[in-house]
Amino acid sequence: MTRIIAGAARGRQLRAPEGRDTRPTSDRVREALFSRLEHQGWLDGTRVLDLYAGSGALGLEAVSRGAASAVLVEHNATTARMVRQNVAATGLSGVTVVADRVERALTRPPKEPFDLVFLDPPYAHADEVVNRALALLADGGWLADPAVVVVERGRRSPEPDWPAGLVSDGDRSYGTTHLYFARTPEAD
């Protein structure tokens, strides 16, 4: 079972979707990821977008640790209902769940840009799908100035093709998980 690691909702259990296409981010990877983000000051009062939300663990962890709000996008209706239950179970405010396909959601203009974006698609998703989502983020007004984007992929996946407006900011491997970081040039 997945849980919130730190912050206001520390220890709260989250239900995770079951099936061969789902793979919740492990506690170890989330701890390393959020340690880096906290160290760099990317959680205090930020607006978070969690694409391919699954259980919602990334967005909920961010809000638990001090982000002001999060929008969690999950296309599977059953999983989106479970994410709403996870939001209720954590007692965190400022979290919205959107039941829609990521690419369709990103074709609409955002209400406001986001400071921190997570893309954690199933590893089986083609690299082109991830690259298309990144292009929509960069071109659609979804990114604040400054912003950070984190892409989670399988260890064998290549680095995403960062669109104009995003520059690579390193990567890390944890077992079978690989995290790629990018930032807007203004985030220096």
Q: How confident is the model at residue 11 (pLDDT cuts 50, 70, 90)?
A: confident
Q: State both tokens at 111.
A: 């209400």
Token pair 């296409």 in the structure block, residue? 21
Question: What is residue 157's predicted lDDT score, i.e. its pLDDT?
Answer: 87
Return d(Cα 30, Cα 102) in angstroms, integer.
22
pLDDT at 101 over 90: yes
DSSP, collapsed to helix, strand or coil, labels residue 122 as coil
Q: How confident is the model at residue 13 (pLDDT cuts 50, 70, 90)?
A: confident
Question: pLDDT per residue over 114-123, tens digit each?
Answer: 999 999 988 7
Lowest mean pLDDT among 12-16, 63-67, 81-85, 87-91: 12-16
Please give the DSSP secondary-structure letter assigned to residue 110: P
Question: What is residue 19's predicted lDDT score, i.e. its pLDDT?
Answer: 59
**Domains defined along the chain, listed by start:** 2-18+25-187 (3.40.50.150)
Question: pLDDT per residue over 126-177, tens digit each?
Answer: 889 999 999 999 999 999 999 999 999 988 889 999 999 999 999 999 988 9
Q: How many CB atoms lie within 10 A of CB 91?
A: 10
Q: How confident is the model at residue 106 (pLDDT cuts 50, 70, 90)?
A: very high
pLDDT at 187 over 70: no
Contact 140, 113 (CB under 8 A): no
pLDDT at 21 over 80: no
Contacts of 144 (CB under 8 A, 6+ apart): 47, 113, 114, 115, 184
Q: State both tokens at 130.
A: 């991830």
